Chain A
Amino acid sequence: DSGVTQTPKHLITATGQRVTLRCSPRSGDLSVYWYQQSLDQGLQFLIQYYNGEERAKGNILERFSAQQFPDLHSELNLSSLELGDSALYFCASSVGGAAGNTGELFFGEGSRLTVL
């Protein structure tokens, strides 16, 4: 158990809809990262927050947004969903803001999104 909690584990929705994925980082971790994992593209970095502030952006679509709240949990909002958004969405956390000083990220078990 990594200590990172993600909900929901599974989500099925229709095209054009909006969903919110939630992540609670490990106790004491200030950074939260969101990754998208699809079969053909591996793990793609979406966005990072550190202590409530956006720290870095990766390949995140404009239809997607995220935030980190004062209690350090984070939410990833996906809107105007398309079939191609079907994927596993992982949240990870680390103590520091540089992918961890040791490069170690602690991943949750992911939220599997299916867009029909």
Chain B
Amino acid sequence: QQQVKQSPQSLIVQKGGISIINCAYENTAFDYFPWYQQFPGKGPALLIAIRPDVSEKKEGRFTISFNKSAKQFSLHIMDSQPGDSATYFCAARGYSSGSARQLTFGSGTQLTVLP
């Protein structure tokens, strides 16, 4: 059962454009929402994260917008660059089977920024 739905599956953007990736969740007990970036041949790495008591967080060209009532959050990449081409995963932290909180990942978005 997928608890975090991510869209689009793939995205092509021109250099300098804005890339937007959206995620939606159902579990209101999720308490942390990170985004991970994965380059080919590498493991995912934390890019930026937000807590549900904050509506927006910005780090450089990367911004997370969080809508708690709609249970949605999105990643905006401003002035997209070819070096941003990667797969992006949203995630949400909550309890699954066991005593520890876990990260549930979205299905990923493959971003291609054209030069």
A95 to chain B, nearest CB (A): 13
Residues of A with C-beta under 8 A to B105: 35, 42-45
A74 to chain B, nearest CB (A): 15
Most buried by A among B49, B96, B106: B96
B7 to chain A, nearest CB (A): 12
**Residues of A78-99 whose CB lies within 8 A of B:** 90, 92, 97-99
The one of B41, B89, B100 in contact with A43, judged by C-beta atoms closer than 8 angstroms, is: B89
Residues of B with C-beta under 8 A to A106: 45
The range of chain B's interface size is 20 to 34
| Complex CA–CA separation, A58 to B6 (angstroms) | 20
| B interface: dominant SS | strand
| A interface: dominant SS | strand
Q: Are the C-beta atoms of A104 and B108 separated by less than 8 Å?
A: no
B107 to chain A, nearest CB (A): 4
Residues of B with C-beta under 8 A to A18: none
Which A residue sits closest to B50, measured CB to CB? Answer: A103
B105 to chain A, nearest CB (A): 4
Residues of B with C-beta under 8 A to A50: 100
**Residues of B75-110 whose CB lies within 8 A of A:** 89, 91, 93, 96-108
Query: Is B42 among interface residues, defined by CB-CB distance under 8 A?
Result: yes
Residues of B with C-beta under 8 A to A35: 105
Subset of 27 A-B contacts with CB under 8 Å = A42-B6, A42-B105, A42-B106, A42-B107, A42-B108, A43-B89, A44-B105, A45-B103, A48-B100, A50-B100, A56-B96, A56-B98, A56-B102, A57-B98, A58-B97, A90-B44, A98-B93, A99-B101, A102-B32, A102-B49, A103-B103, A104-B34, A104-B49, A105-B44, A105-B46, A105-B103, A110-B43
> Could you list which residues of chain B lie within 8 angstroms of chain A, going by C-beta atoms?
6, 32-34, 41-46, 49, 89, 91, 93, 96-108
When A and B form their complex, which 8 residue pairs have the shortest distance between CB atoms, in order from nearest? A56-B98, A107-B43, A42-B107, A43-B105, A103-B32, A55-B100, A98-B101, A56-B100
